[in-house]
């Protein structure tokens, strides 16, 4: 039966649907259900098998740089260099563990979808009412629903009575949708299919019956699950840039390694020595500490964001936030409060704005139920009507035992909260105005009425409903004619509607004291008009400032919502998203081809009545234009777009489990302002990562140059190959000291202009021409100084008559120490890639000095502790050797200081 999914069930009558599905209000037979179940499959959501832990771990080793280290490990052990081989392999394992921790996530997106459906459903089978597991439902089953039920499958309704359904997880609508059985247009969107209910939504009031038209992955929620499964999360700009750098480094290492091997053979090295020279160069040139440094820097940013209520689920997202160019935001619960609020009261004579509850506005406490002070006398009956003709209540919160929470329909809760502006004692009012009878809200009548006994023993009917339903029930004796009143009401309703508000009309009728204590049909006319209440889901107060901050940072904010176009336009106007009122609906989007859509998203900032597929398509169109897209949302309908976006941002309080597990970041306080804070931190992280790269890469390149020059020019004396360093010493510098010194850079304070500059262009190379020049310059200085001191120390020790083995060991130790000291002084320069040292606040980052102290202590151990001497082939140094190393290494401060001065005065406009 699932082959019939192309049929537009909402456009057919209930009779036609039942006939097509070979069903009836008596249901289908158990035999037929069994056959359909075999054919259609269970009413469950299917997901791909999750990648196993072992697969994730293995993937950490599938990297060209790691391949080189593997080869180096094998060759080192084969040539008897056991210690070198073990140390190199340890580096491989450390990198694998770091990568595994980054990738392993316990998220299970589709599991969240499964929680949205009930375990059992009530239906008709074999002409009997039964309850069965929802997984056994099939197309054609006749389901019975009542208030509080979750809908077990997509259904075409055949009977309704006062039915309202909360579809916010699918449509984003704040208010429950009213349901009826009349067919709608075939091209109606999900939110406009009033004759259908969908799997995972909630019946908030009334009773209904309907026939199942889609199960499992063919339901609307199943389609979202399919989108999630087929949607791949894109790699972050930083990840892509680092992959390019790693690839280029790999090719360069292989090429230079082969060249070194060939040169060594040409210079009469043995095969073993030539191979070991190539290994040494490979180990020297690979920035082994880079993965660890990136992880640590991102983690530090993650911690900072958490303190500002932005929780990051994937480390790469920290950097992506800093590159974001467009934020696509859901409206309900993200830009707005996701709660209705009465904005205006209108009684035919004036418009009265409603302030926040508790403010000293028009009105005082109603103690006797019959008088409001003169200031609010004209609104007295309107407030009474909204409060009494109301089923919402305030109840004590079971968690806090103090705070009261509102229970009931969102609209009626808003009416009660509006009455609090007049300091009404709700419990006392309802006590002295007891309800005698009621006419529940009916989706056909679109009204609700309650009969009360006043403190004076009068019987009064209070009525509320849609203006178009209340107007025919009115009379208006007095100065103004009935026609004039109707025109005034309709004009006021239109004015409020144009502002994106929902309007309710209120009226009353006084009955004779001796009348029956119930509401009868003949009493539903000749009502006295009391007024209108206009309400909306208001924007969050802090959101406008956050959006303005995003605009200052060059980030475009777009609203993508399932709500009504008028409502979306008004909210967008209030928040400064649009001035021209331009809005595109989902139906209009579906008529655009991909090229036209890409052009449309450049100039349109509000999209309304969109489906999950529309949201996903919009994100893809923006990405096709080269944008880095952040998508915010809280409902199931947002999940595919959250996953596809460069960074998905879910709401922590109102967000569904599906949205949270699909997202890269969760806003713990549902505050859009936290997104702006996260962007700021993301930019800070990226700036500091550039500093880390500018610090790490010269060391690796410099070490590679040291080995290359040695193989090219150094002699072999007494059977000993003259090498400034051996592989384990290179690893010491590259991994241990590099990480320890680079970590403090991740703690640097943000640059003053971090939120006053445009986002980094996605296609911009990670390493600019300026940074490449800086890296090459520093690498040449480090290599030259290290080689010079190695030769100086080697020949000095030989002149003293010590053995060549010891002379080489001491010279290598001095070379390694010089390289470490070069890094110490260069670290101070890297605190700012632009500013000279004297313009950097000395104590703005104390961790720099702790890092330097730690490295100097570790280097002293490297030089003087016997076990370290054994592992790393080092020898103790004399004081004058340390002095020379300090003097030569200090030169980097002078050289980079001159380079910064030249750049500041002559190349100020060159980007870092």
pLDDT beyond 60 at 355: no
Across 170-184, 351-365, 592-606, 760-774, least confident range: 351-365
Reported residue count of the chain is 912
Across 284-293, 673-682, 689-698, which has the greatest mean pLDDT? 689-698
pLDDT at 314 over 70: no
- Tens of pLDDT, residue by residue over 300-309, are 777 777 778 7
- Buried b or exposed e, range 816-845, using 16+ CB within 10 angstroms: bbbbbbbbbbbbbbbbbbeeeeeebeeeeb
pLDDT exceeds cutoff 60 at 557:
yes
Q: How many other CB atoms are there within 10 angstroms of residue 266's CB atom?
A: 11
- Residue 612, helix vs strand vs coil: helix
Mean pLDDT throughout 77-100? 69
Mutual angle of helices 316-323 and 672-713, in 10-degree steps: 110
For residue 293, pLDDT beyond 70? no
Predicted pLDDT of residue 791: 93
368 is a catalytic site residue: no
CA distance 539 to 521: 41
Residue showing tokens 């450390």: 94
* Residue, of 67 and 578, whose pLDDT is higher: 578
CB proximity list for 463: less than 8 A, separation 6 or greater: 385, 389, 447, 448, 449, 470, 473, 506, 507, 508, 509, 524, 527
841 has pLDDT over 70: yes
The CB-side HSE value for 499 (13 A sphere, CA atoms) comes to 18
Average pLDDT value for residue range 321-349:
83
Cα 306 from Cα 301, distance rounded (Å): 9
**Residue 813: C-alpha distances to residues 84, 281, 515, 729 (Å):** 16, 17, 107, 8
- pLDDT tier at 402 (50, 70, 90 boundaries)? low
CA separation for the pair 850, 380 (Å, rounded): 70
Q: Which of 300-304, 372-376, 395-399, 826-830 has the highest mean pLDDT?
A: 826-830
pLDDT band at 477 (very low <50, low <70, confident <90, very high): very low
In this structure, the strands spanning 459-465 and 120-125 are unpaired
Residue 315 has pLDDT above 80, yes or no: no
Q: Is residue 62 exposed (0-12), middle (13-18) or buried (19+ Cβ within 10 Å)?
A: exposed
- pLDDT over 70 (residue 522): yes
CB atoms within 10 A of CB 192: 16
Degrees (nearest 5) of the Cα angle 782, 785, 787? Answer: 105
Report the percentage of the chain scoring pLDDT > 70. Answer: 81
DSSP, residue by residue, 864-882: H-HHHHHHHT-----HHHH
The mean-pLDDT minimum among 617-621, 681-685, 812-816 falls in 681-685
Q: pLDDT value at position 150?
A: 81
Per-residue pLDDT tens digits for 425-470: 888 888 899 999 888 877 667 899 999 999 988 899 999 998 988 9
Give the integer Cα–Cα distance in Å for 532 and 535: 10
CA 474 to chain centre: 50
CA distance 477 to 510: 14
DSSP structural state of residue 324: -
DSSP-derived letter for residue 669 is: T
Which comes out higher in pLDDT, residue 246 or 425? 425
pLDDT in tens, 484-494: 788 889 899 88
Contacts of 338 (CB under 8 A, 6+ apart): 174, 332, 537, 654
Question: Measured between alpha carbons, how far is 775 from 766 in angstroms, rounded to an integer?
Answer: 13
Secondary structure (3-state) at 254? helix
Three-class SS of 443-480: CCCCEEEEEEECCCCCEEEEEEECHHHHHHHEECCCCC
* Arithmetic mean of pLDDT, 251-279: 80
Whether pTM > 0.85 for this model: the answer is no
Secondary structure (H, E, C), 417-448:
HHHHHHCCCHHHHHHHCCEEEEEEEECCCCEE
CA gyration radius, the chain: 36
What are the CA-CA distances from residue 586 to residues 408, 476, 614 (Å)?
31, 43, 7
Does residue 689 carry a pLDDT above 60?
yes
Give the span between the Cα atoms of 273 and 277, in whole angstroms.
6
Higher pLDDT, 421 or 851: 851
Q: Which of 84, 166, 273, 330 is catalytic?
A: 330
Helix (H, G, I), strand (E, B) or coil at 13: coil
Q: Which two tokens stand for residue 361?
A: 């506005």
Q: What sign does the dihedral 658-654-392-570 (CA atoms) show?
A: negative
Residues 6+ apart with CB under 8 A from 674: 308, 309, 310, 667, 668
- The answer on pLDDT for 577 being more than 70 is yes
Tell me the CA distances in angstroms from 33 to 20, 158, 308, 799, one per residue in order.
Answer: 16, 20, 54, 98
Cα–Cα dist 443/207, whole Å:
12
563 contacts 536 by C-beta, under 8 angstroms: no
Tell the residue number behind the tokens 């439902």, with chain if given.
137
> Taking residues 212-228, what's their average pLDDT?
84
Pairing of strands 474-475, 647-651: unpaired
Reply yes or no on whether the pLDDT at 898 is more than 90: yes
First vs last C-alpha separation in the chain: 62
- The three-point CA angle 507-508-509 to 5° equals 140
Confidence at residue 364, expressed as pLDDT on a 0 to 100 scale: 37
Q: What is the C-alpha to C-alpha distance for residues 13 and 16, in angstroms, rounded to an integer?
A: 5
- Judge whether 69 and 96 are in contact, CB under 8 Å: no
pLDDT tens sequence across 106-158: 333 333 433 443 467 889 998 888 888 888 999 999 999 987 678 999 999 99
User: What does DSSP say about strands 556-560 and 606-608: parallel, antiparallel, or unpaired?
Assistant: parallel
């Amino acid at each position: 039966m699932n082959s019939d999914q192309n049929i537009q069930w909402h456009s057919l009558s209930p009779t036609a649907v039942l006939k097509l599905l070979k069903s009836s209000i008596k249901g289908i037979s158990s035999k037929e259900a069994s056959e359909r179940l075999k054919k259609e499959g269970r009413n469950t959501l299917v997901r791909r098998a999750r990648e196993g832990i072992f697969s994730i771990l293995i993937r950490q080793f599938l990297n060209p740089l790691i391949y080189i280290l593997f080869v180096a490990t094998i060759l080192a052990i084969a040539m008897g260099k056991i210690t070198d081989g073990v140390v190199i392999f340890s580096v491989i394992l450390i990198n694998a563990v770091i990568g595994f921790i980054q990738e392993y996530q316990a998220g299970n997106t589709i599991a969240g979808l499964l929680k949205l459906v009930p375990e059992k459903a009530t239906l008709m089978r074999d002409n009997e009412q039964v309850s069965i597991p929802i997984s056994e439902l099939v197309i054609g089953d006749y389901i019975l629903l009542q208030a509080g039920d979750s809908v077990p499958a997509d259904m075409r309704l055949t009977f309704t009575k006062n039915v309202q359904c909360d579809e916010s997880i699918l449509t984003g609508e704040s208010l429950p949708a009213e349901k009826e059985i009349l067919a709608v247009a075939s091209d109606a969107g999900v939110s406009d299919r009033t004759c259908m209910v969908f799997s995972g939504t909630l019946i908030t009031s009334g009773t209904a019956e309907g026939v199942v038209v889609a199960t499992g992955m063919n339901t609307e929620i199943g389609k979202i699950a399919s989108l999630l499964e087929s949607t791949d999360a894109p790699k972050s700009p930083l990840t892509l840039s680092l992959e390019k750098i790693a690839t280029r480094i790999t090719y360069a290492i292989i090429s230079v390694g082969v060249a070194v091997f060939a040169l060594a053979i040409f210079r009469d090295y043995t095969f073993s020595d030539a191979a070991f020279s190539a290994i040494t160069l490979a180990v020297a040139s690979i920035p082994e500490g880079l993965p660890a440094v990136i992880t640590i820097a991102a983690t530090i940013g993650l911690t900072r964001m958490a303190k500002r209520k932005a929780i990051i689920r994937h480390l790469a997202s920290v950097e992506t936030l800093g590159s974001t160019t467009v934020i696509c935001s859901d409206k309900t619960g993200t830009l707005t409060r996701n709660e209705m609020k009465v904005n205006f009261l209108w009684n035919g004579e004036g418009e009265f704005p409603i302030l926040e509850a508790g403010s000293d506005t028009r009105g005082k406490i109603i103690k006797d139920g019959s008088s409001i002070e003169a200031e609010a006398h004209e609104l007295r009956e309107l407030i009474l009507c909204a409060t009494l003709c109301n089923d919402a209540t305030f109840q004590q919160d079971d968690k806090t035992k103090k705070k009261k929470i509102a229970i009931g329909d969102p609209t009626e809760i808003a009416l009660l909260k509006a009455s609090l502006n007049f300091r009404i004692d709700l419990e006392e009012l309802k006590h002295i105005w007891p309800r005698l009878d009621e006419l529940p809200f009916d989706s056909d009548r679109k009204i609700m009425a309650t009969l009360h006994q006043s403190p004076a023993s009068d019987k009064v009917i209070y009525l509320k409903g849609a203006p178009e339903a209340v107007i025919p029930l009115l009379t208006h004796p007095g100065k103004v004619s009935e026609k004039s009143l109707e025109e005034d009401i309709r004009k006021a309703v239109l004015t409020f509607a144009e502002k994106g508000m929902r309007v309710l009309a209120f009226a009353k009728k006084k009955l004779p004291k001796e009348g029956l204590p119930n509401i009868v049909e003949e009493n539903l006319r000749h009502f006295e008009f009391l007024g209108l209440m206009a309400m909306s889901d208001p924007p969050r107060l802090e959101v406008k400032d956050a959006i303005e901050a995003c605009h200052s940072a060059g980030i475009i904010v777009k609203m993508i919502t399932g709500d009504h176009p008028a409502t979306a336009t008004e909210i967008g106007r209030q928040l400064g998203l649009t001035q021209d009122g331009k809005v595109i609906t989902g139906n209009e989007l579906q008529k655009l081809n991909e090229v036209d859509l890409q052009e449309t998203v450049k100039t349109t900032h509000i999209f309304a009545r969109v489906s999950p597929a529309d949201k996903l398509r919009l994100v893809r169109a923006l990405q096709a234009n080269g944008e880095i897209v952040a998508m915010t949302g809280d409902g199931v309908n947002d999940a595919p777009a959250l996953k596809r976006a460069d960074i998905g941002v879910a709401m922590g309080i109102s967000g569904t489990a599906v949205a949270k597990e699909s997202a890269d970041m969760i806003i713990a306080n549902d505050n859009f302002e936290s997104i702006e804070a996260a962007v700021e931190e993301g930019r800070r992280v990226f700036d500091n990562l550039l500093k880390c790269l500018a610090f790490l890469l010269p060391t690796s390149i410099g070490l590679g140059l040291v080995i290359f020059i040695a193989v090219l020019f150094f002699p072999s004396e007494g059977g000993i190959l003259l090498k400034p360093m051996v592989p384990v010493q290179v690893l010491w510098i590259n991994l241990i000291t590099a990480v320890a010194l680079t970590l403090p850079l991740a703690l640097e304070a943000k640059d003053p202009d971090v939120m006053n500059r445009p986002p980094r262009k996605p296609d911009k190379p990670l390493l600019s021409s300026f940074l490449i020049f800086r890296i090459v310059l520093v690498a040449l200085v480090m290599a030259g100084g290290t080689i010079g001191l190695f030769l100086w120390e080697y020949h000095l020790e030989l002149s003293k008559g010590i053995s060549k083995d010891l002379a080489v060991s001491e010279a290598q130790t001095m070379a390694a120490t010089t390289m470490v000291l070069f890094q110490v002084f260069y670290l101070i320069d890297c605190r700012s890639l632009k500013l000279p040292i004297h313009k950097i606040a000395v104590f703005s980052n104390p961790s720099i000095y702790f890092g330097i102290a730690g490295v100097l202590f570790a280097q002293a151990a490297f030089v003087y502790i016997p076990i370290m001497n054994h592992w790393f082939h080092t020898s103790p140094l004399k004081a004058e050797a340390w002095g020379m190393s300090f003097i030569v290494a200090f030169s980097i401060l002078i050289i980079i200081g001159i380079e910064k001065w030249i750049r500041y005065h002559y190349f100020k406009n060159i980007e870092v």
